[in-house]
Structure 1
Amino acid sequence: MREPVPEPAPEPAPATAPTAAPPVPSTPTESSPQPTPEPEPTPEPQPTPEPEPTPEPEPAAQPERTPAPERDPAPEPAPTADPTDDATSAPETDATAPITTPPVEPPTAADARRALQGRIALSDGDAVVSETVVYFVPDRMPADAPSTPDSSFEIATEDKQFRPLVLAVPRGSELRFPNRDPILHNVFSVSPGNAFDLGVYGPGSEPATTMDATGAVNVYCNVHHDMHAHVLVLDSPWFVRASDDGRFELTDLPPGPGVLHVWHRQAEAWSMAIEDGPIDPVAIELRIVRPQIPAHLDKSGQSYQRRDRDPYR
């Protein structure tokens, strides 16, 4: 009969069961095997998809901005690469070597060309300083000397005068004498080497002749005694007439020594040796020794004053 005593012992076990009853319904016994649903709280690891920390890559994007300054130093090595490129291009500079040749070019002789300036004064007579011709003759004519211009020269007859009164031309030039007067003229010269007679010609005609010899050529009209002109034929392309105040300038003169000449139809010829190198300005005085209208005869060697003279023959 004492064996039933153990039966009350199970009663305390239900006492513990009521404690578990409040969390679970009358099926607590079944719930005890269901603690397995406790893995359902495993969704709590859903917070583990903590992609929310993914904002941390956002600061990673910020370092991407920092490389931008890193680009600044990048150009600094770039120049260092440039010298290496230069070193590599050094053999290529051999092609540029001809660029250094221009200073060695023969045309550098042009750099040695010079200019000559000066002023002329006339004394002891009635003359016009602008009728002075200044020219330079080098001791050795350079191969690249300016050539004779293709165009011809002219001295016109107008108002019973020659215009211009003085003219310098290179040797071999053609010289025309257009008649711009309403009357007849007969232009001639008896100067050695360049003597000519254009005959009687009327308005609008333009007879011409060639200046074959160097030197001064006196030109007259066989009809009108007071008409006279003076041509200076030169073997040099470097010549110029003086200005109204006597100033002159010769440019592009070749290097080397030579002679400076000054010519005026009423004065004695003047000359000066010029050495190689720069040329200082010169002051020149010419003394007038001839009248404005030189004494001369007609083309036949007769006086213009002869009564039986026929100016149109």
Structure 2
Amino acid sequence: MLQWINPAQAADLTVSLSDNQGNPLPNIVVTLTSPATIIEEAEFSPQHPAIMDQIDRQFVPHILVVPKGSYVAFPNSDSIQHHVYSFSKAKPFELKLYSGRPPQPLEFGQAGEVAMGCNIHDWMLGYVYVVDTPYYGKTNARGQLTLTVPPDDYQLILWSPLLDSKDSAVQYSVDVAADSKIDLSLKHALLPAFEGFEQSDEFDDY
């Protein structure tokens, strides 16, 4: 169960994120942690999993953020088969060639980055990012995210596969006492995005 917040004691923290050129950064994971944050993993159920779909030979969403202990289902909405796998330390797994929906969702019980690929379509790349806090989200097209949290002293952490390691290692101290805003700018350029999608290949019949 994610930590319940009394609305009378909650505050909105709005984060605005830009790159080293001042441009807004969408789709960046933001997490807030403090010693008081609680996730009770026993409350998550395989009957209500998060969804990482496969559409047009892409993982959708490209980045899925879930709390530690969540279950994730991997439906294949394409008319061809996929073979999904990960060698990531946080959750190594393999879903061999399949169509439709695998019989069981997978539990993600360890925080960290889980990079996934398809053993048939090499350009397919997606991420499940597992967090150990109930306060998280991704920035929107304007590079903004608003989180409703209890007043506290938090550590704010950014994550994306495109962040330079020096930026992703930075922790920002944030004192949330009331509704507030924080503007953050990266010090380093983003890493180049992988653009390996192909419209057709020799495995179209799978």
For residue 167 of structure 1, report the CA deviation from its aligned partner. 1.0
How do 1:83-122 residues align onto structure 2 when only pairs under 5 Å count? 111-122=8-19
* Counterpart check, 1:235 vs 2:132: yes
When the two chains are superposed, the root-mean-square deviation of aligned CA atoms in Å is: 3.1
**Across the two proteins, how many residue pairs are aligned to each other?**
185
- The alignment's TM-score, normalised by the length of structure 1, stands at 0.53
Instruction: In structure 1, give the amino acid aligned to 2:19.
Output: L
Q: Distance in 1 between matches of 2:90 and 2:158?
A: 21
Structure 1 distance, partners of 2:107, 2:44, is 14
1:200 and 1:294 mapped to 2: Cα distance? 24
- 1:282 is matched with which residue? 182
Which whole-Å deviations, capped at 9, do the CAs of 1:74-103 have from their partners, x for residues lacking one? Answer: xxxxxxxxxxxxxxxxxxxxxxxxxxxxxx
Structure 2 counterpart of 1:198, from 95, 107, 117: 95
Q: Structure 1 residues 244, 148: CA separation in 2 closer, same or farther (over 3 Å shift)?
A: farther
Q: Which consecutive residues of structure 2, in runs of 5 or more, have no partner in the other structure?
A: 197-202
Bigger fraction of residues in helix: 1
Tell me, what secondary structure is at the counterpart of 2:26? helix
Deviations 1:115-161 (A, max 9, x none): 1112111247xx99322111211222369x9x966521111111111
Identity of aligned residues (%): 25
- Contact 1:214–1:233, Cα closer than 8 Å, also in 2: yes
Matches within 5 A, 1:45-194: 111-123=8-20, 129-141=25-37, 150=45, 151-194=48-91
If the length of structure 2 is used for normalisation, what is the TM-score?
0.77
In structure 1, the gaps of 5 or more residues are 1-107, 296-309
Partner SS for 2:19: strand
Tell whether 2:146 aligns with 1:249. yes
Q: CA 1:142–1:193 in 2, change beyond 3 Å: closer, same or farther?
A: closer
Contact 1:142 1:254 in 2 (8 A): no
CA distance in 2: counterparts of 1:186 and 1:271, whole angstroms: 36
Which of 1 and 2 has higher RCO (CA within 8 Å, sep 6+)? 2
Letter in 2 for 1:219: M
Alignment partner, residue 193 of structure 2: 292
The runs of at least 4 aligned residues of structure 1 exceeding 6 Å deviation read: none
